[in-house]
């Protein structure tokens, strides 16, 4: 497997972990568990930041001419997974605020 595909799978893995943690944070918010929400959302943020670091490094390498990224459905999927997870995390933050307001 090429390095770029391995990098894509790394992004997918981090993003998948981030999405799982974000949904666990949402479940905690539904239960009015502020501490559980904060812990899981911190996990989600840490994982998505790791995915973003991997993506950024890949972009830097290509921009510097150190790598030429071939078209790959796996790379497209990784990018898609990263961006949808980032949007999911943002939406879960907003929804969680509503759950916490409901319990206030």
Numbered residues of the known binding site = 80
Structure tokens, 99: 């759950």
Instruction: Tell me which residue of 24, 6, 7, 12 sits closest to 77, measured CA to CA.
Output: 12
Q: Known catalytic residue: 81?
A: no
Instruction: Tell me which residue of 10, 104, 100, 101 sits closest to 55, measured CA to CA.
Output: 10
Among the listed residues 34, 77, 81, 103, the single catalytic one is: 77
C-alpha span between 103 and 31 (Å, rounded): 9
- Binding-site members for Mg(2+) are 80
Q: Could you give the residue numbers annotated as active site?
A: 77
């Amino acid at each position: 497997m090429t390095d770029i595909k391995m990098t894509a799978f790394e992004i997918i893995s981090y993003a998948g972990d981030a999405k799982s943690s974000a949904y666990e944070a949402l479940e905690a918010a539904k239960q009015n568990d502020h501490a559980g929400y904060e812990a899981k959302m911190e996990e989600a943020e840490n994982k998505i930041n790791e995915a973003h670091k991997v993506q950024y490094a890949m972009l830097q390498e290509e921009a510097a001419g150190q790598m030429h990224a071939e078209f790959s459905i796996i790379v497209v999927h990784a990018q898609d997974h990263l961006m949808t997870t980032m949007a999911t995390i943002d939406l879960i933050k907003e929804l969680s605020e509503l759950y916490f307001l409901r319990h206030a």
